[in-house]
A and B are shown apart, each in its own frame.
Chain A
Amino acid sequence: MSYVRIQNLTKRFGDVLAVDRLNLEIREGEFFTLLGSSGCGKTTTLRMVGGLEKPDAGAIYLGDRCLVSAAEGMFVKPERRDMGMVFQSYALWPHMTVFENVAYPLKLRRVKAAVIRDKTRAALELVGLGGLEERPATALSGGQQQRVALARALVFSPRVLLLDEPLSNLDARLREEMRRELKALQRRVSVTVLFVTHDQMEALSMSDRVGIMNRGRLEQVGAPEEVYYQPATPFARDFLGKVFALAGKIVSSGDAGCAVKLKDLAAPPISVRSSRAAPESGWTAGQDVMVAIRPEQIGLAISASDGNPNVLPVILQASQFLGDRYEYTVAVGSESRVLTAPASQPLKPGQKIYLALDAEAITLWPTA
């Protein structure tokens, strides 16, 4: 069931089309992430949901309630939307203590003083900041400020929690910690979350579903595994993770998928059986294509295994130790490609090695 419904949302800043006819439905209790590089319109979308920007066209609904509709001239002010928001800069009010910051939304709702005290304490306990109530908000560390902002956004049990890159100002270690905590917290209070980030790790690890945005439009919406392993568009493919791609030509296409002859390589055609190679995708023999696979899905061997057509002989050109894995540069035919693999045995540059490509994991793309 959809909870937040966004229809044809459009926003211009001068000549720039920041959000372009965006349609999206977010389910109740879901952790939904808008992922994209800066300037893709994700923050603008979030701000329109929160009521901080007015759309030029389109509408947003929360349950049955219309929050904004450009066509009907309808606009609910941010203070009437019942949404919590954590800003990238945290936006803690420097003239208030931690307690006053968190209690502010309750005070505005004319909650009784005793209830305010209990709820504020509980919210601060929830984010692990019990005991710091009387500190000035800006005297805390970045991670603590972030928790205060989170407590402030959650204290009045909002219907939706909006998070605008809340982790981007933290250092790497703290970011990982907060990522886990944020997700655990969301499960505990089961609030609907709309999260905006440019960090694919955050998006993939926390979300129930991810929407990849580019130039004001949604490229693909789906579960993290889905958007990662089955990218629907070239942008989604290249934006998420690394790609190991080779050019080729389709030799045959059938119920079992396609067979692709790789350019520059003496090896027999490889078979591709992922959903993108299905007959209804309309591939025809002779068509130029690109085959792509996530580098970590590539199996690496020092000897050829018989009978598997999807094994490519390559020459190792260079290797770099990255701590938990190795990064290898290999020559496939006349071209260089990079992949990573766990360090099982030491490999030497110049050595011949074999790459096993899983037929189910390879995706096929038309070349322009």
Chain B
Amino acid sequence: MRRARMQSETFWCSVVLAGVAFFALYPILLIIVNSFQVAKPGAPALYGLQGWSAVLSQPGLKRALYNTFSLLVVRQLLSFPVAVLIAWLLARTDLPGKSALEFMFWLSFFLPSLSVTLGWILILDPDYGIANQIWKSLFGAAQGPFNIYSFWGIVWAHIGHNTTAVKVMLLTPAFRNMDASLEEASEIAGAGRAGTLVRILIPIMMPIIMVVLILAIINGLQAFEIEMILGAPIGFHVYSTKVYQLIQQEPPSFGPATALSTLVLCILLPLIVMQRRWIGRRQYTTITGRYRAKPIALGKWRYPALALIALVALVITAAPMSFVLIGTFMSLFGFFHIEHPWTLRNWSRVFDDPIFLLSLKNTVLMAGGAALFSVSLFSVVAYISVRTKFIWRATLDFISWFPSAMPGILMGLGLLWLFLDFPIFRPLYGSVWLLIIATVVSSMTLGTQLLKSNLLQLGMELEEASQASGASWWTTYRRIVLPLMFPSVLLVGVLGFIHAARDISNVALLATSGSRTLALLQLDFMVSGRYESAAVVATIVMALTTGIALLARLLGLRIGIRS
């Protein structure tokens, strides 16, 4: 009896492992193999190094790599100190309105970057950007100083969106959970505030700071939409937009595209291993004493600090959101001084458009499906790697890290080839299912890790106590594990929904006109210069993602464990 159960456990775990490995690793393999494939599309396979020599010789490709890294470095140098300061202020001081401010950074994280970029275009466009118009009327200059279509414009769009917000989100809890007596011991020993910060606080926070930094580099290498909108029109390419361009052109040139991708994968994979190691390292940030951290009194700095953070929080949330909303009511995006600047036509036009209605339906289906599917799959993967004795559980955990190394465009390409290679998947082509699989695979790392750490915290005893009381495994899972995990499960579902609803890079190559989502429709509108319609779609996508986030916050506060 027991033996039979063990065997069926091993069987099911193996099925999960095989499925996860197939979808997570096979696309990567395809990319690497195809970088050595030099035959024209459709012709029999032929292997060679032309793709690689193109990457190494064409100036455009090298330039794209250089751009990718210079953007990355500049962004991190600017945003890291700001994020550390904000996280510290939010977690350790008596700043007023902390929780509202922290939530604004979460909100910023949930906003689709394409919509945020649209808002910034309206503010910072060189011709009609509102900031430039104000400048011109104030100083009588012929030309305003801001240009969103530039290197610095791209840097700004990133910093004004996820780059800062995600760091604040991750660093704030870490600062909050640190045992305050570690700092107090240093003060008693004779160090002042500043000495304690440099000698104790920052070294202790090093593991989490490293994790955040590596994550930032990975995210930076995956960036796509912002560069696509702001860089491509001025011929400024990063590697992801270059790959997209190479694949979309006629005929597609897969060789250089995959070779360039493989090169970037070679940089990303070691980063993934490094990140995993830093996370696995013993985290120092644990609460031990009975004394909760006493907030540090900011004194006369209290209101200047509040003003600073509130400004940052508003700039990254309210500013782009409100300008997108304004844009939906404008006859001509950005032109305030024409005869009839305001109109409702954009809204009625979009809602009359059958393509829009189809995209809305696709988006809701796909995001809802992705949320459900990611919650069930990730909780199984997390459970296997934490709670079972399955011999390959460490491998399963390791594989779940790979998708985070795959830039969305590559994941999309790899999955596209995978679906075309295997006849059983062909019926799925052109359907929403394909998009669900792509977005679920690409969000696997974060979701699995969130659930895993929650399971680890729960401890085995709670489940064992339930089993000792006579509950079966399934009853225990349903009555004990799931309710205790509810907040994390909810969070993973919400993240899955939002990730899918706003995703562009993973699905750009997979969607057809029948399975187009709102985010892709918005991209189409923006690329073809229909900013007014794009603004309407952007507003709806933002309402979807932030609405779900707010709903989850309400639910999460009411249900689940009270802390």
Do the beta carbons of A89 and B282 come within 8 Å of each other? Answer: no
Contacts of A152 in B (CB 8 A): 185, 189
CA distance A177 to B290 in the complex (A): 24
State which of B98-106, B113-121, B190-198, B252-260 sits at the interface with chain A.
B190-198
B59 to chain A, nearest CB (A): 45
Do B179 and A93 touch across chains, with their CB atoms under 8 A apart?
no
B206 within 8 A of A: yes
Flag A281-319 by CB within 8 Å of B: 1 or 0 each.
000000000000000000000000000000000000000
Could you tell me the distance between the alpha carbons of A43 and B291 in the complex, rounded to whole angstroms? 10
Interface string of B524-550 (1 = CB under 8 A from A): 000000000000000000000000000
User: Which residue of chain A has its CB nearest to the CB of B185?
Assistant: A91
A 77-107 binary contact with B (CB < 8 Å = 1; else 0) = 1111101110111010111000000001100
Q: In the complex, what residues of A have CB within 8 A of residue B185's CB?
A: 85, 87, 91, 93, 149, 152
Known: A85-B185, A93-B204, A95-B204. A105 touches B289 (CB 8 A): no
B184 within 8 A of A: yes
B188 on the interface (CB 8 Å rule)?
A: yes
| B181 interface neighbour in A77, A81, A91, A104, Cβ under 8 Å | A91
CB-CB under 8 A for A93 and B182, given A77-B192, A108-B195:
yes
Write out the residue numbers on chain A whose beta carbons fall within 8 Å of the beta carbon of B181: 87-89, 91
A156 CB contacts on chain B under 8 angstroms: 189-190
Residues in chain A near residue B289, CB distance under 8 A: 87-89, 91
Q: How far is the CB of B447 from chain A (nearest CB, A)?
A: 29
Q: Which of B275-306 contact A (CB under 8 A)?
A: 282, 284, 288-291, 294
Residues of chain A from 33 to 62 with CB closer than 8 A to chain B in the complex: 38, 43, 50-53
B188 touching A83, Cβ below 8 Å = yes
For the residues of B in contact with A, the DSSP-based class is helix
Residues from chain B with a CB closer than 8 A to the CB of A85 are: 184-185, 188
Q: Give A347 Cβ to nearest chain B Cβ, in Å.
A: 40
Contact partner of B190 among A88, A93, A108, CB < 8 A? A108
A112 contacts B by Cβ under 8 Å: no
Given contacts A89-B289, A91-B179, A93-B182, contact A109 B188 (CB under 8 A): no
CB <8 Å contact, B182 and A78: no
**Which of these, A88, A91, A105, contacts B290 with CB under 8 Å?**
A88
CB <8 Å contact, B204 and A108: no
Interface residues in B159-218 by Cβ distance below 8 A to A read: 179, 181-182, 184-192, 195, 199-200, 203-204, 206
Count of residues in B whose CB is under 8 Å from the partner chain: 25
Closest Cβ neighbor of A169 among chain B residues: B288
Of chain A, the residue at the smallest CB distance from B184 is A52
CA distance A156 to B182 in the complex (A): 18
The answer to whether A91 touches B190 (Cβ under 8 A) is no
CA distance A260 to B288 in the complex (A): 52
- B190 A105 Cβ-Cβ under 8 A: yes
Evaluate contact between A109 and B190: CB separation under 8 angstroms.
yes
- With contacts A87-B181, A88-B289, A94-B282 taken as known, whether A79 is within 8 angstroms of B188 at the C-beta atoms is yes
Contact A87/B184 with A77-B192, A105-B190, A152-B189 known, Cβ cut-off 8 Å:
yes
**In the complex, which of the residues A51, A79, A83, A88 has the most CB atoms of chain B within 10 Å of its own CB atom?**
A79
Within 8 Å CB of A43, what residues of B? 291
Q: Which residues of A contact B288 (CB under 8 A)?
A: 89
B189→A104 contact, CB < 8 A: yes
Question: Contacts A87-B181, A89-B288, A108-B195: A50 and B188 contacting too (C-beta < 8 A)?
Answer: yes
A88-B289, A89-B288, A94-B284 as given contacts; A79 in contact with B206, CB under 8 Å: no
- A78 close to B290 (CB less than 8 A): no
- Establish whether residues B187 and A79, one from each chain, have CB atoms under 8 Å apart when the complex forms: yes
Q: Which 8 A-B pairs have the closest CB atoms?
A: A89-B288, A91-B181, A91-B185, A105-B189, A108-B190, A89-B289, A87-B181, A95-B203
Q: List 16 other contacts, CB 8 Å, given A87-B185, A94-B282, A95-B284.
A: A50-B184, A50-B188, A51-B187, A77-B192, A79-B192, A81-B188, A85-B184, A89-B181, A89-B288, A89-B289, A91-B185, A91-B289, A94-B204, A95-B204, A149-B185, A152-B189
Instruction: Pull 22 A–B residue pairs with CB atoms less than 8 Å apart, ordered by A.
Output: A43-B291, A50-B188, A51-B188, A52-B184, A52-B294, A77-B192, A79-B188, A80-B190, A81-B188, A85-B184, A85-B188, A87-B289, A88-B181, A91-B179, A91-B184, A91-B289, A93-B182, A93-B204, A104-B199, A149-B185, A152-B185, A156-B189
Give me the interface of B with A, judged by CB distance under 8 Å: 179, 181-182, 184-192, 195, 199-200, 203-204, 206, 282, 284, 288-291, 294
